[in-house]
A = this chain, B = another copy of it.
């Protein structure tokens, strides 16, 4: 069943030092364009949906490059405005073993997206067309104008019977020192509009200031998520718990909370090629499962497999087909496909 999905958010330019080099060592950068919304809509385009970004990009050669890249990912640029002067950028130095990856941002607060006038967006019109619209906590962190646009858009979607998906992804660097305190009311405003929320126990404790006596992450999760579900009246909450092991493989377990029931995927362990954007693959898997009417069990397994595969793809953006993900769900380590 073809669905129409949009995401509202900033398109970022990713500039990555190659071959595990530092910026002080390299003299070339690989670049691509991404962002939570970009990743979600690209992943769902690959799964067969019609997908759209609602965003603003500068009308200059970098904006042109971003638009071309978005097209390449299979996303429609029909609702992307061309205005303002700058694109948000981030530099990535890939870690290795004991050395963590390091991200350095350019000045994204002056970006076309973050300075776009309200009038540029036809939120009412877009909301009528879309089945699902995705928002995220990164957009929420930007400024009052963007936050207002987000709430306006989400309200339109709600009113038109569309599904509002919200990913809590909290970025400390964007909120500053008293960030959690400042963020809470903004998060609550969008949570009240959301049909599907991506979060885990850390978001509950830090952003929403929920309390628990539990020590183990799983116990915190199973206590706090039902509380949020009830308090904010959210139809479906989903997320992952990630562990990074001493040998630098990662472990992931996905969960969905719905109908007062917590459903977990198995815990999977895997090596990592490119960690960034893997959470967005999980989200896209949840959205796909919901739209396709998968059972909750199949939905969480599908999303978790999509998430794991996203760790094996260069770049932020998931590139797996439905077949790739289904194969990975019934995973046995496999030889060359030829």
- Which A residues fall within an 8 A CB radius of B? 15, 18-32, 60-62, 64-65, 68-69, 71-74, 85-86, 89-91, 93, 95-107, 110, 171, 173, 242, 244-249, 269-273, 275-276, 308-309, 311-315, 319, 324, 328, 331, 333-338
Contact, CB under 8 Å: B97 / A270: yes
Contact, CB under 8 Å: A91 / B107: no
Pairs of residues from A and B, 8 with the lowest C-beta to C-beta distance, nearest first? A103-B338, A72-B72, A99-B312, A23-B65, A244-B333, A71-B71, A97-B271, A24-B68
- State in angstroms the CA–CA spacing of A312 and B25 once bound together: 13
Residues in B neighbouring A107, C-beta threshold 8 A: 85-86, 106-107, 110
- State in angstroms the CA–CA spacing of A24 and B27 once bound together: 13
Residues in B neighbouring A105, C-beta threshold 8 A: 338
**Copy total for this chain:** 6
Contact, CB under 8 Å: B28 / A337: no
Contact, CB under 8 Å: A104 / B62: yes
Residues in B neighbouring A90, C-beta threshold 8 A: 338
Q: How far is the CB of A175 from chain B (nearest CB, A)?
A: 13
Q: How far is the CB of A93 from chain B (nearest CB, A)?
A: 6
| Other contacts beyond A61-B91, A68-B72, A86-B107: 20, CB < 8 A | A20-B314, A24-B68, A24-B72, A25-B315, A28-B31, A29-B31, A61-B93, A71-B73, A71-B74, A89-B89, A95-B336, A96-B273, A97-B311, A97-B312, A98-B333, A101-B336, A101-B337, A106-B106, A245-B333, A246-B333
- A110-B107, A319-B25 in contact; A171/B338 too (CB < 8 A)? yes
A312 touches which of B71, B96, B308 (Cβ 8 Å): B96
A62 touches which of B73, B91, B101, B270 (Cβ 8 Å): B91
- State in angstroms the CA–CA spacing of A107 and B68 once bound together: 22
A98 touches which of B91, B100, B309 (Cβ 8 Å): B309
A270 touches which of B31, B60, B86, B98 (Cβ 8 Å): B98
Contact, CB under 8 Å: A27 / B19: no
Contact, CB under 8 Å: B248 / A98: no
- State in angstroms the CA–CA spacing of A61 and B95 once bound together: 13
